[in-house]
A = this chain, B = another copy of it.
Amino acid sequence: MRMLVVGSVAFDDIQTPFGVKKDVLGGAASHFSIAAANLIEPKIVAVVGNDFPKKYFDYLDSFGVDTSGIEVSQDKTFHWSGYYEHDMAVAHTRATELGAFAAFEPKLTEEDKQRQVLFLANIDPVLQYKVLKQMCNVQLVGMDSMNFWIEGKRAALWKVVKAVDILFLNDAEIRMLAGEASLIKAAKAIQKQGPDTVVVKKGEHGVTCVHKGEIFVSPAYPTEKVIDPTGAGDSFAGGCMSYLVANSQPGKKISTETLRHAVAWGSAVASFAVEGFSTTGVAKATKAAVEKRVAILRKLTAF
């Protein structure tokens, strides 16, 4: 099964207690796709400005990410600037300049529309829905979103949520979307509205999944070296989705066993992502390195 990823490719300015980086490669689709590229060859559909350097195209290409769907506009590249305080649990945004992304209308080729797997990274849910509706033969759809859209475009977001198979959101977003303080109740309530699987990302506290009424939990890999959490959630989703795609049969439902393993895979990939600025951490998540951490994750909770 071949995967299409629709989302942002961006410049990030990042400040953490471990340093400051300017104009580094960012955007949900970048993090997601590099994280997924160990197991599959994702194709990105996105837009960048004419200030986006060739070296970043080459860099994405070097992982086996298909960048031919990244449109180059005459505007500027989407630019996010933010910082993390001591505990690094929360990203504080300094500025978001949408640039080329403000007028982004994803253009799918006929080949794109025939792909079996779609990941809708965090963008305007109206765009997410437009893309979803163009797919002709899709068998597995995952999505991410954020508080901004839950607050500002609630109805449009629900329309997408109801139509996807796997929803990735963090714990605060799950509570906000469901309007329910109990995380388990909230995830179950959303799950009943459409998606087979609701994946609740809890950062250093790991992941809680509701899959057709069944609950399971994956701890975060206990890395001591958290340098930059930017894109960790996208890397997790990229790892998780790529494992599902690489280990599922077309036309067959995903088993809980595969999903559990996929979540562990995503957690292991995400643990590399936080260990370096921008995508330098996740770039070190080779298949063998991820497998090693997955084995450690399995032992971590055994009793």
Contacts and interface: CB of A to CB of B under 8 A. Distances in A.
Interface of A: 17, 86-88, 175, 181-185, 188, 202, 204-206, 208, 215-219, 222-224, 226, 257, 260-261, 263-264, 298-303
A107 to B, nearest CB: 39
B302 A260 contact: yes
Given A202-B205, A205-B205, A222-B208, A217 B182 contact: no
B301 A219 contact: yes
A219 B183 CA distance: 14
Interface of A is mostly: mixed
Given A86-B181, A218-B301, 15 more contacts: A87-B175, A88-B181, A182-B224, A182-B226, A184-B224, A206-B217, A206-B219, A215-B222, A216-B303, A218-B303, A219-B219, A257-B303, A260-B302, A261-B303, A301-B301
In order of increasing CB-CB distance, the 9 nearest A-B pairs are A260-B303, A205-B205, A301-B301, A217-B219, A184-B222, A184-B224, A217-B300, A86-B181, A261-B303
A212 B183 CA distance: 33
Contacts of A257: 303
Nearest to A259: B303
A167 to B, nearest CB: 18
A214 to B, nearest CB: 9
Contacts of A87: 175, 181
A228 to B, nearest CB: 14
11 contacts: A17-B181, A202-B205, A205-B205, A208-B219, A208-B222, A215-B222, A216-B299, A217-B219, A217-B301, A219-B219, A298-B303
A196 to B, nearest CB: 17
Contacts of A204: 183
Contact of A184 (B181, B216, B217, B223): B223
A47 B181 CA distance: 37
A264 B217 CA distance: 14
A47 B194 CA distance: 55
Given A205-B202, A260-B303, A224 B185 contact: yes
A223 to B, nearest CB: 7
